[in-house]
Structure 1
């Protein structure tokens, strides 16, 4: 079955949306996103290291050869190439670092069934829509707390991280746009 973000997390407490136009068809934009490397996202890397505290600040950095999508907390839940990629995570984000329940990360059925109190479910997508000679690439993040206590705690956390979260999403969209432009450049 093909899922849409609206099916995975129809109700949500928080939502963030960003979009851009990418040169070329959705297949080019999809490949640009899925091939993205950590090194292609310097702003996101900096913000993630800042969020990680002193341990992350002074940790060695390997240059970022890993795939970007393999190095973000949400894991792939499902994909409908080249239309939509959905990532998800379940955690308590309000401490010095996220803690996660004993649930397999990236497992769609576990994500759908999970409803234990005290946690927050996050679903994030990348949607690709052909628009003439370009692709409209959007990303939406939805957040749903599993109970009122988690909802209140996350609301405070969101005040602190929302701006950085938006910067990371825009950094990813910009990197995909640049990579797609390189792939569609004449002579390539």
Structure 2
């Protein structure tokens, strides 16, 4: 039986080479907060919207951050009411993506040239957290990915922080009496 304090991301990708964590205190039950997380739109997180738009991603103000955009990035793995888990894999250079589902590849593939990516949004203990983990299957892939991670990390952090603040604002609006 899994440890309830351990996230599904920790169970799926316990080791990583690159990691980013952002958190914010958000009142409410896990169900209330995660419902708000799935309903929050890019219009509610203008900083995140602007930063993601720079990448050329197809976003509109009405599209939901978690439910729409993140689903396009990989495979959504059901985890329960308190967490949204996304898994993705990427082959580098001439290495094609191995066969199998994304979650099978993330948990079992060791072929060189693959990046295993896990990301979650989770509400536990009053904290809303988003964490990303990236594991390269070999040292060459890790070294090649490191400069990219260095370049995107600051903008990614701003995007995540803006996203978390927008979710918290939605929760607070929904909790306040009409």
Instruction: Say whether the fold is shared (TM-score over 0.5).
Output: yes
* Structure 1 gaps, min length 5: none
Cα–Cα, structure 1 residues 50 and 26, in superposed 2: closer, same or farther, change >3 Å? same
Cα displacement string for residues 42-100 of structure 1 (whole angstroms, at most 9, x for unaligned residues): 22222222233xxx6xxxx773322222213244223211x222112112589xxxx98
Query: Which aligned runs of 4 or more in structure 1 are off by greater than 6 angstroms?
Result: none
Bigger drift between 1-10 and 152-161 goes to 1-10
Alpha-carbon distance in 1 for matches of 2:92, 2:121: 22
Q: Which residue of 1 is the match for residue 37 of structure 2?
A: 33
Question: Conserved in 2, the CA contact under 8 Å of 1:32 and 1:176?
Answer: yes
Partner residue in 2 for 1:85: 84
Distance in 1 (alpha carbons) for counterparts of 2:86 and 2:165: 19
Larger deviation, residues 32-41 vs 1-10? 1-10
Deviation track 1:99-154 (CA, whole Å, cap 9, x = no partner) reads 9836577x433432333321211111122124xxxx21112111101111110011
| 1:140 corresponds to 2:136 | no
* SS class of match (2:78): strand
Q: Aligned residue for 2:97?
A: 101
Pick the aligned partner of 2:69 from 49, 53, 71.
71
Q: How many Å separate the matches in 2 of 1:64 and 1:37?
A: 6
- Indicate the residue corresponding to 2:155 in structure 1: 164
* Cα deviation, residue 31, structure 1: 0.6
CA RMSD of aligned residues (A): 2.6
Distance change >3 Å, CA 37–CA 162, structure 1 → 2: same
1:42 to 41, 46, 61: 46
